[in-house]
């Protein structure tokens, strides 16, 4: 379980949010909503440990994440606005590199299977720089299929995706939740997981 208590975050002299508290259980999904500049991305990055909160605590399974350290970060997977992929590498190499940076190994066969699931068959060996924006986003999102992180933190995951890819993402998130996973996301596009009630967290 993820527990957030009385969290506060500022950007410069501007307080983005304060007194923010919520919990997220296994099998649950939450959408963070708010106007541009309300702190949606800052909240997600704070949950990932990229930003330290000014106040409050984040607990994972009842323990402070600052004390858990790598044990907590191994349980989450963050995909942000940027794809975080290397243009000069191909899709397979990017997935294997991402796995290595996260501390685990993925075979070429496993990476190829993930890319096929994302609709990138016959593009596995192409340099990422020649792919379309939608295809590049699919390469980044294929990381969801090669790890076993319990908590997915997704910042605008549907950016540049066509209708088919959006449907696939909804399917993948549904599978993740059915296995006891959790997801927190932001999006400007509709994202509905069949059979699951999406919780809403509004930042003003």
pLDDT of amino acid 10? 86
The pairing of beta strand 182-186 with beta strand 151-155: parallel
Strand order in the sheet with 2-11: 14-24, 2-11, 55-60, 63-64
Q: Rounded CA gap, 131 and 148, in Å? A: 27
For the chain, domain boundaries: 1-75+150-204, 83-148
- 151-192 residue pLDDT tens: 999 999 999 999 999 999 999 999 999 999 999 999 988 899
Q: Write down the pLDDT at residue 65.
A: 94
CB-based contacts of 164, cutoff 8 Å, min separation 6: 119
Query: Cα–Cα distances in Å, from 39 out to 18, 36, 43, 96?
Result: 11, 8, 6, 32
Which tens digits make up the pLDDT trace of 122-148? 899 999 999 999 999 999 999 999 988
For the segment(s) 1-75+150-204, the CATH number from 3.40.50.300, 1.10.3720.10, 3.65.10.10, 3.30.750.24 is 3.40.50.300
Closest CA to 135 of 83, 81, 182, 177: 83
pLDDT above 90 (res 101): no
Confidence class for position 36, pLDDT limits 50, 70, 90:
confident
Average pLDDT, the chain: 94
Question: Residue 19 pLDDT more than 90?
Answer: yes
């Amino acid at each position: 379980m993820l527990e957030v208590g009385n969290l506060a975050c500022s950007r410069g002299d501007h307080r983005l949010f304060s007194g923010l508290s919520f919990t997220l259980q296994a099998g649950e999904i939450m959408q963070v909503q708010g106007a541009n500049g309300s702190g949606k991305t800052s909240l997600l990055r704070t949950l990932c440990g990229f930003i330290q909160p000014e106040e409050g605590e984040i607990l994972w399974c009842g323990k402070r994440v600052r004390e858990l350290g790598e044990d907590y970060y191994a349980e989450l997977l963050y995909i942000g606005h940027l794809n975080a992929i290397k243009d000069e590498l191909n899709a397979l190499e990017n997935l294997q590199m991402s796995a290595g940076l996260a501390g685990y190994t993925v075979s070429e066969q496993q990476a190829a299977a993930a890319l096929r699931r994302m609709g990138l068959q016959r593009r596995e060996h192409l340099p990422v720089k020649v792919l379309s924006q939608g295809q590049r986003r699919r390469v980044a999102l294929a990381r969801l299929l090669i790890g076993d992180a319990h908590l997915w933190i997704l910042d605008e995951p549907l950016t540049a995706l066509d209708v088919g890819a959006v449907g696939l993402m909804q399917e993948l998130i549904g599978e993740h939740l059915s296995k006891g996973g959790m997801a927190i996301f932001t999006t400007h596009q509709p994202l509905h997981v069949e059979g699951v009630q999406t919780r809403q967290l509004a930042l003003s």
